[in-house]
Amino acid sequence: MLKWVEDITRFVFLEDAPEAADIIFVPGNGHALPSELAAQLYLKGYAPYILPSGRYAIGTDGFSGQKSGTRRYQGSFETEWAFMRHILLENGVPDSAILREDEATYTYQNAIYSRKRTDELHISVRRGILCCMPVHARRARMYYETLYPDAKLLVCPAPGAGITRENWMHSEEGIDTVLGEMARCGGQFHDILKDIML
């Protein structure tokens, strides 16, 4: 394999082993897998709270429905948060452990509003687990690290995704998706980095 393809793979597809944490974050999405993984980690005792975050994608007028997952979750959901909450409940997470953030419309807002919510609830996040789709791992961690600079954030990507570190370079969809993530990691952080560093 070309060295630069390996470099892109290492950059985009992050994965950490879970550790005991203060909270599990699930950035807004229409995929069932991250919420299912968050439920599994909660039930294994990795964290006392799960914070799904999301209204619906910017530029749309509502939640567009489940995008992937072998199990189909029935129901009508007004927001990504409501969809993710439903999955968590269906997978054994008690409602009392599910925090609410249903205003964010893009990934940076997921992090911003999650920080606002944990601050409101006086939850000190020294270590957090971030459950997301594998291809979104780097960008999600960049945003959440920006809002939780003193926390150790462990990225636990959902297993079973269609685009993975092993196969992305072998399909047009995989190439477009991964290189699109690379472009977003550069394009979306100009102002953030200037605000932090200058």
Q: Tell me if 153 is assigned to some domain.
A: yes
Q: Tell me if 123 is assigned to some domain.
A: yes
Q: Tell me if 64 is assigned to some domain.
A: yes
Give me the half-sphere count of Cα atoms (radius 13 Å) on the Cβ side of residue 50: 34
Distance CA 18, CA 44 (A): 10
Distance CA 79, CA 101 (A): 10
Length of the chain: 198
Q: Tell me if 120 is assigned to some domain.
A: yes
Q: Tell me if 6 is assigned to some domain.
A: no
Total count of domains within the chain: 1
Tokens matching residue 190? 């100009």
Backbone angles phi, psi at 128, to 5 degrees: -130, 150
Range of the domain at 121: 15-162
Enumerate the β-bridge partners of residue 23. 128
Encode the chain (198 residues) as per-residue pLDDT tens digits. 899 999 999 999 999 999 999 999 999 989 999 999 999 999 999 999 999 999 988 778 888 888 888 889 988 899 999 999 999 999 999 999 999 999 999 999 999 999 999 999 999 999 999 999 999 999 999 999 999 999 999 999 999 889 999 999 999 999 999 999 999 998 889 889 998 899
CATH code of the domain in which 59 resides? 3.40.50.620
What pLDDT sits at residue 181?
Answer: 96
What pLDDT sits at residue 166?
Answer: 96
Tokens matching residue 93? 């997470």
Q: Tell me if 66 is assigned to some domain.
A: yes
